[in-house]
Amino acid sequence: MLKNILEDVRMEEIQDYFLCENCGGRDFKLVYNFSMRFHGVNFSDDLIYDRLTGEVFHCSKCDKTYTRKDIEKGLNEFKKKRKGES
């Protein structure tokens, strides 16, 4: 009897993809850019700098760009949607 109950409880597997809102593509290329930001400080005449690394995701079909924040937001919407279905 326990075996039958476990078989009935088995969960279906669902996979959602983040899709480009422009063309519906689901494949993206990660592009990095690197820079240095220089700025002065009030206690010295010397400049200090920060190293910066930026990243954007380009749709492989239409080249529309997304930030990591955009993609995380889209994936979080999937979680909210699936939680509402359970």
Does residue 73 lie in a domain region? yes
19 located within any domain: no
| pTM for the structure as a whole | 0.67
In a domain, 78, yes or no: yes
Whole domain around residue 63: which residue ranges?
24-85
Residue 7 lies in a domain: no
Total number of domains in the chain: 1
Kindly indicate the confidence band of residue 43, based on its pLDDT and cuts at 50, 70 and 90.
confident
Phi, psi (deg, nearest 5) at residue 49: -140, 160
What percent of the chain has pLDDT above 70?
85
Q: Check whether 65 has a pLDDT greater than 50.
A: yes
Residue predicted with more confidence, 43 or 54 = 54
Specify the pLDDT at position 4: 43
Give the 3-state secondary structure of residue 29.
strand
Q: Is residue 43 part of a domain?
A: yes
Q: Does residue 16 lie in a domain region?
A: no
> Does 73 or 46 have the greater pLDDT score?
73
Question: How confident is residue 82, by pLDDT bands cut at 50, 70 and 90?
Answer: confident
**Phi, psi values for residue 7, rounded to 5°:** -65, -35
